[in-house]
A and B are shown apart, each in its own frame.
Chain A
Amino acid sequence: MESPEKQYNKALGKGIKIFTKSSSLVPIVAIILGLITGALVMLAGGYNPLVAYGALFGKLIESPYDIGETIRAITPLIFTGLSVAFAFRTGLFNIGAEGQFVMGMLGATLIGVKLDLPWFIHAPLAMVGGAVLGGIWAGIVGYLKAKRGVNEVISSIMMNWIGLYFANYVIGTWLSEKGQQKSNEVHESASWSIGWLSEMMDHARMHGGTIVALICVFLFYILLWKTKQGYELRAVGLNPDAAHYAGMNVGRTVVKSMFIAGAFAGLGGAFEVLGVFGYQTISSASPGYGFDGIAVSLLGGNTPVGILLAAILFGGLTYGSGGMSFEADVPTEVVRIVIGAIIFFIASHGIVRMVMKPFSFRRNKPTDGSKEASRT
């Protein structure tokens, strides 16, 4: 029998370990360092960072309207974060969530504007239309990779631009009145807005997409870790040679994974149209949610819960920046600097570990940190 003291120490050690598991600590330290970086930039610009951050975070909960709009800002990031992370789990870098997002908007707009159906068919169909179009857009990238070995980073950047201009063209020729810079409104029957909730939140744009986003977070987990399909996707991502040896069709798995990733992004786009704006605009630049999705998946460590938390953070920072600029007169771009800095610190965990070192006294390296050591 171990002495009670020893047992206590052991338990304590375990407790510390849970909170200091480097995998969960790095993002938190990165966030703090990112906020500090933002503060330094503000100081250099002659602003008071405390006031600015106060305004930023105050804004998020200032009124029911702001709470609602914060949730609205978070929702698309969950979708694009899931999109990037899903592809990543299969070993693919989906930089094309942006284009898939736009195509998702287009799919939803097409069905929402052109069809006239009972709401219980129309709304789901418009959503699915967005998901499918986003999925196909990403699927093309996957197909090129599987069949022709085209690097997915390059092709998906190209697809981003093709998607943007393609959507502009379709809206301009089929979906809008002459001279308008936006599509016609989608029919009421296709809308995902939740009227009573918006009413309650001072007319913040609340919509059912947020619930779908949460369901998708759960689906992401189930699909990857509980299904046969997910087993294949992960195997291909971790070791395509072994997957091939085990009889998996690596090429087809790549296409499937991209399709699903694109569908997540497409859903995000669809709900922007069906839940927030009610139309799609002709624009010269895409909305940027796809690119932010990369940041979200990175900060979230490509795990479902991590993505949810990271989307909340980035969505909150982005929405709150409005308040910061309004109340403390700090340009909203500072928030982009903060987000950029967080990503920088995540990507360079070396720096973060160095900062953490003095706090970890003489603890032994965690086992997962010693992975580099090859097993022989």
Chain B
Amino acid sequence: MEQNATAVELSGITKRFPGIVANDGISFKLRKGEIHALLGENGAGKSTLMNILFGLYQPDEGEIRVNGMPTVIDGPSKAIELGIGMVHQHFKLVQPFTVAENIVLGSEPSKGGVINLKQANEKVKRLSEQYRLQVDPNMRIEDITVGMQQRVEILKTLYRGADILIFDEPTAVLTVQEIEELLEILRSLAAEGKSIIIITHKLKEVMALSNSVTVIRRGKVVGTVETKSTNERALAELMVGRSVSLQTEKSRREVGKVIFAAKDLQMKSNQNKLVLNGVSLEIRAGEILGIAGVDGNGQSELVQAITGMVKLSGGQVSINGKDITNQSPRQTGLAGISHIPEDRHKHGLVLDFTLSENVVLGNYFQKPFNNGGFLKYEEMDKLAHKLTTEFDVRSSGIHTHARSLSGGNQQKAIIARELWRNPSLLIAVQPTRGLDIGAIEYVQQRLRQARDEGKAILLISFELDELFELSDRIAVMYEGRIVGEVDPLNRDNQRLGMLMAGDTNA
């Protein structure tokens, strides 16, 4: 195969949504066998462009060539026919089905109309060995990790014979370990001759993985460069149009009185396992407490317990000296807790509500939004205007549905809302997930500012850099317990690693 042949060529692609031009004359070329990174601010139009290539949207203008042939991709089935596969950020798997069933779904091996599951299992096994994508064909999707779900998605596209693969922010939902594995997988796929487009906000990944980079800003291509000839700083500048720095001066700080205290929290899972096993914490005014730990060691449960979304089986939670153990989310909210949730689609937003409706999700029942049982839309609009301007939430207006916002802009809207609620305790779970670096810089600055105003902040993040950058103290969680603390001013990766693995002697 010729090395520099073109797999996909988009020329002059324009896509308009009511009130916004998402793609504005974009031209883009993917060479065969290369990994091409697509970079750009939140709402720049990356997902839209890829959805066009995968046939989910029709462009208003422009031409698509696949393997040199001009084509109209009028639906995902056409895309699949052309050998294009897409792994969406939010997986599209059938939860109660097995891995094998999900992979063959839509083109099942069958005999006389009956699916041959054994043959399907065989095929999946062979495919998974061929590409070293380890999955268990017989497991149900609901029982496997996010990392394995992603491998299932990849296998699904390979099963359909895709040789052009699109990944939309694949690493956003993965743990550090899983990210390493994914990058390895992508490299070997490219080595096999697959052509890959990857959208990511993490410049490190771009540098480590890609052959070339295209940067989009506000719907237009601002540059395509060879990865060899660029660096993180240059890319960041190209992307946001100014220089960005995520490093700040740090020092020990004065803290105030105890705002939040949790004593000996216990929670049982449905299988009667202790998922919280005696967690005790204190956070003072003007302090950010970071929680480190491998995903699934009780972090989500801790948050659910504090906010009252799930009941504790033991222990005590208090805020400003007031006992709020096992109170409802409404009451903990009124007591001064606000919460940037881990899953923005599940908890953070009502996707089919407008932005105006979403910014009052936790306050709609209070004045001035509620006036004798009637909603005051003018007040909601006013707040939505204020928050979207302040946090640069890009959309075609405050009356558009949250669903039509880009992922990063959805996240910014949630952060804006929860900070605006002026809490005593802010719980931030993965607050910068899916944000571009400009936005990360701004959000981190706002979190620090909130801390300096005397709020207590509980930060849960799987990004160690972020944790060390923001936290004043870091507690490590393992199997539902706090196993130790590390000092963010003296980063000791080895000790941290041992604690995260549950070694309490560290």
Contacts and interface: CB of A to CB of B under 8 A. Distances in A.
Interface residues of B, number: 48
Contact of A375 (B361, B370, B374, B410): B410
A227 interface: yes
B362 A375 contact: no
B426 to A, nearest CB: 15
Contacts of B329: 244-247
A281 to B, nearest CB: 40
Contacts of A239: 346, 349-352
Contact of B330 (A229, A248, A371, A376): A248
B346 A241 contact: yes
Nearest to B370: A228
Interface in B308-325: 309
A374 B88 contact: yes
Interface string B343-381: 000111111110001000110110000100111000000
Interface in B60-102: 60, 88-90, 92
17 contacts: A227-B374, A228-B374, A229-B373, A232-B364, A235-B353, A239-B351, A242-B361, A243-B350, A244-B329, A245-B307, A245-B348, A247-B330, A367-B18, A374-B88, A375-B403, A375-B405, A375-B407
Given A228-B370, A231-B357, A249 B328 contact: yes
A246 B362 CA distance: 5
Nearest to A241: B346
Contact of A367 (B17, B169, B339): B17
Closest 7 CB pairs of A and B: A247-B330, A376-B89, A373-B56, A245-B347, A247-B329, A246-B361, A376-B407
B47 interface: yes
A234 B350 CA distance: 9
Nearest to A231: B364
A376 B169 contact: yes
Given A235-B350, A370-B57, A372-B56, A245 B341 contact: yes
A243 B353 CA distance: 12
Q: Which of B168, B199, B341, B350 has the most CB of A within 10 A?
A: B350
Contact of B373 (A227, A234, A375): A227
- By secondary structure, the B interface counts as loop
A355 interface: no
Given A243-B350, A246-B362, A375 B404 contact: yes
Contacts of A228: 364-365, 370, 373-375
Given A238-B353, A249-B328, A364-B60, 7 more contacts: A235-B361, A238-B352, A239-B351, A241-B346, A248-B330, A367-B17, A374-B90
A373 B199 CA distance: 16
A365 interface: yes
A13 to B, nearest CB: 11
A16 to B, nearest CB: 15
A226 B374 contact: yes
Nearest to A243: B350
Q: Which of B89, B307, B347 has the most CB of A within 10 A?
A: B347
Contacts of A249: 328, 330
A365 B47 contact: no
Contacts of B58: 364-365
B45 to A, nearest CB: 12
Contacts of B88: 374, 376
Contacts of B405: 375
A376 B17 CA distance: 16
A289 B348 CA distance: 40
A282 B491 CA distance: 81
Interface in A16-44: none
Contacts of A226: 374-375
A228 B352 CA distance: 17
Given A242-B349, A248-B330, A370 B309 contact: no
A364 B434 CA distance: 29
A375 B406 contact: yes
B40 interface: no
Interface string A334-376: 0000000000000000000000000000001101001111111
Contacts of A230: 375
A234 B351 CA distance: 12
B121 interface: no
B298 interface: no
A231 B364 CA distance: 8
A229 B109 CA distance: 51
B51 interface: yes
A247 B58 CA distance: 40
Nearest to A239: B350
Q: Which of A230, A239, A243, A245 has the most CB of B within 10 A?
A: A245
Interface in B453-484: none
Contacts of B51: 370, 373
A235 B199 CA distance: 32
A367 B404 CA distance: 9
Contacts of A234: 350, 353
A106 to B, nearest CB: 31
A364 B18 CA distance: 13
